[in-house]
Structure 1
Amino acid sequence: MERVYNFNAGPAVLPEEVLLEAQADLFNYKGMGLSVMEMSHRSKEFQAIIDDAYARVKRIYGLGDDYEVLFLQGGASLQFLMVPLNFAVEGKEANYINTGQWSKKAIAEAKKIGKAVHIAASSEDRNFAYIPRSWQLSDNPSYLHITTNNTIFGTEWKFDPDIPEDIPLIADMSSNFMSKPIDIQKYSLVYAGAQKNVGPAGTVVVIIKKSLLEKAIPGLPTMLDYNIHAKNGSLYNTPACFIIYMVGLVLKWIENFGGLKKIAENNKLKAGYIYDTIDESNGFYRGTVDKEDRSLMNITFRLPSEELEELFVSEAKKNGMIGLKGHRDVGGCRASCYNSLPLKAAKTLSEFMKEFQRQHG
């Protein structure tokens, strides 16, 4: 059976080279006589795997010794809790910019544990169709938290918020992590679920400044304490061994591709095919967000009716393209074009969209 073009928002498409390498190693990893899934996380062989993934994250983003990299469990959703638990100190306010569903979930978690929360800006007034250009921090902020790409609504930060250097900038980068070069030094903490751009579901990559770690609230429950995980090299408990191995393979693929600069160029080409088709359709396809804030990762659009949208998704599947139904909270259609999606997939979708319009427009 031929592989489909996978436009799912996550778990998402993986590079074919990575899948084939994992397949070859699945039963007997490097001649060891066992799978990575059976390997002790305390073995020297797994230590080499996690060390390699750690080094690749640092190399790809150009991180120095002032940053720590962690591979944790619980996905970005647990980070919504861990961030305020560790860094929203008493007498200060946790600041958030609300740009969609995942921002709202992060805000809700901070409130659940009794932290003082300040909404510095929000795009909810227009159903999250844009990224705010201005914000008002509270008088005494613990940090500012943003969500750099919004998978449900299809917006993406194209700039880094300009805030005072003494205020930690924290970002949920789950859906555009490693999709383009960024000025990582502006961020004190970045976290990302692996299942969009760097691996299967099952681990979250955390990049954190050591200077921020030093300011973490002490005495936290063990598994929710960043310092515990950092001091134990992400091995305090049994980690998601096979997922970390897969992340390492994807990171190797990113480096072999040419790094983040080449990845970004390819992502712009892919999104361009689809956005151009939307813009040239005379309204048959309608983008749902402001053009300047369009995500390169998650392209959201509507058709003239819900019936046509259902037919579009159904016909696309018959033509080997899956995952094009919009999120259940907003409806419509969504094409997720993560790093691993082949350029040919975007071209094929563009051609299908034009043909679908000719038949039903």
Structure 2
Amino acid sequence: MSNTSNHVLNFGAGPAKIPESVLKKAQKEFLDINGTGMSVMELSHRSKPFGAILQKTKDNLAKLMDIPSDYSILFMQGGATTQFAAIFLNLVAKKQDELIKLGKEKEEIVVDYFVTGAWSNKAVQEAERLAPAVQSNPIRVNRVIDVKQKYGKFGTIPPPSEWNLTDPTKHHVAYVYYCDNETIHGVEFPFVPKVNETVPLVADVSSNFLSRPIHVPKYAVVYGGAQKNLGPAGVTIVVVRNDMLVDVNVGPVRPLMLDFKTAADNNSMYNTPPTFAIYMVGLTLEWLIEEKGGLKGIEQANNSKARKLYELIDQSKLYKSPVDPHCRSHMNVVFRLPTEDLEKEFLAGAEKLHMHQLKGHRSVGGIRASIYNAMPEDDVDRLIEYMIEFEKKHSP
């Protein structure tokens, strides 16, 4: 295989590849956005020009996701990691508010977590850290399933028969939480976990945000950082059902910057929002609508890319996927070679061909090809071509 250009294939897990047409449009508008004579980074967040950008971005997100009118779209900061705390504080407050009205303010509240990879594990650890500080109601953090504890490693989604969901008819359940796609371990839920309809469901969709259709009414909160599929790092999108918004003086003490109602009441502008990141999200949403056929169109493209890679891996005698076939990620394809030395050789050869950021996360090693929305299928084909040649070179 020979490389005849300096075209870079960016398989980074995030910050990740941004569509070329989006970058070119941002470049064209960099010094003058919409005839203002200023860069979008220079606009006041309270100006009419930026207000128009923000509203169009919200409108296009609502269109793509078919978000009902009783939901709020929030643009928050601090990445998905900050939302680990925000989810806990806001939804526990919602449940406390309900119990106060029922005269049950001293009774136990339970929060349920699916732990299927590194990021859901970090989320449950944050809940476990915050729970003891909550006054009034005792808080119990329940691991519905902890895959690593049960199987010794992450790499599967166990069947419902192995789940330990809390019974909402016997306990006060504030929410059920899961990470839809585990970036590090390459695990993706092939279904929405079925929970009692009275219990708020929360999904971290950071690394597969807008990669496929999602039925928003099933959720109380859907959130994700933008830096995988929607633009640069710096903004986190939170789609929250309005009945989850409670006064900041109710429930656990929480900073105003973590309070969903404060963000909603101020149209995500309680302080200066990440204006450039929001603008870039807006351009990416336009790209999805105008060039990719919306979520159904991008889902077909993503399925095609992932299918090709997994077919090669499954047919190979050199490459091996550590993830069960039924829950392999369409965004983060992880695989191993027989030895770490061979993996280093593979990565070095890929770099020479301008295939960058294929090294697996430092906590697990191996290879990880992140093939987000912006990754063209041609680039995946070039990776596959290299993988085939590499295997021929190292076949017995």
CA contact (8 A) 1:122 1:132 kept: no
Please give the alpha-carbon distance, in whole angstroms, between the structure 2 residues aligned to 1:215 and 1:123.
36
Deviation string 1:154-207 (CA, Å, 9 cap, x unpaired) is 110010111111100001100011000122111110110000011110000000
Aligned to 1:116: 140
1:172 aligns with 2:204: yes
Contact (CA 8 Å) 1:87, 1:215: kept in 2 or not? no
2:129 alignment partner AA: K
Corresponding residue of 1:63:
67
Partner of 1:29, secondary structure, is coil
Distance in 1, matches of 2:6 and 2:354, equals: 9
Residue 18 of structure 1: how far off its partner (Å): 0.1
1:101 aligns with 118
C-alpha change, 1:215 and 1:274, in structure 2 (3 Å) is farther
Alignment partner, residue 305 of structure 2: 270
For residues 184 and 87 of structure 1, what CA distance do their matches in structure 2 show?
Answer: 17
Secondary structure at the residue paired with 1:37? helix
CA offsets per residue over residues 117-162 of structure 1, 9 Å max, x none?
Answer: 0111121133111012222222422100000000111110010111
The answer as to 2:167 corresponding to 1:133 is no
- For 2:51 and 2:89, the matched residues in 1 are separated by 29
Shift of 1:330: 0.3
**How many angstroms apart in 1 are the aligned matches of 2:390 and 2:352?**
13
Q: Secondary structure at the match of 1:120?
A: strand
* From 213, 222, 236, the counterpart of 1:181: 213
| Maintained 8 Å contact 1:326/1:334 | yes
| 1:97-123 per-position Cα deviation (integer Å, ceiling 9, x unaligned) | 000111111111111112420111121
8 Å contact from structure 2 (residues 226, 236) kept in 1: yes
1:1-361 to structure 2, matched below 5 A, reads: 2-88=6-92, 89=95, 91-114=108-131, 115-124=139-148, 125-126=150-151, 127-134=153-160, 135-139=163-167, 140=171, 141-214=173-246, 217-218=250-251, 220-256=254-290, 257-282=292-317, 284-361=318-395
Whole-angstrom CA distance in 1 between matches of 2:314 and 2:144: 33
List per-residue Cα deviations over 1:239-280 (Å, max 9, x = no partner): 000000000000111111100001000001111121111111
Unaligned runs of 5+ in 2: 97-107, 132-138
Q: Distance in 1 between matches of 2:21 and 2:6?
A: 15
Write the distance in 2 (CA, Å) between the matches of 1:293 and 1:186.
Answer: 20
Q: Structure 2 length normalisation: TM-score?
A: 0.89
Shift of 1:215: 8.3
Q: Which amino acid aligns with 1:330?
A: V
Q: Distance in 2 between matches of 1:269 and 1:4?
A: 21
| Cα deviation code 1:214-235 (max 9, x no counterpart) | 4884563211210000000001
Q: Distance in 2 between matches of 1:82 and 1:132?
A: 27
Equivalents in 2 of 1:255, 1:123: separation in Å? Answer: 37
Give the counterpart letter for 2:349 in structure 1.
Answer: E
CA RMSD of aligned residues (A): 1.4
In structure 1, stretches of 5+ residues that fail to align are none
Residues 90, 244 of structure 2: 8 Å contact kept: no
**What CA distance in whole angstroms lies between the structure 1 residues aligned with 2:306 and 2:372?**
10
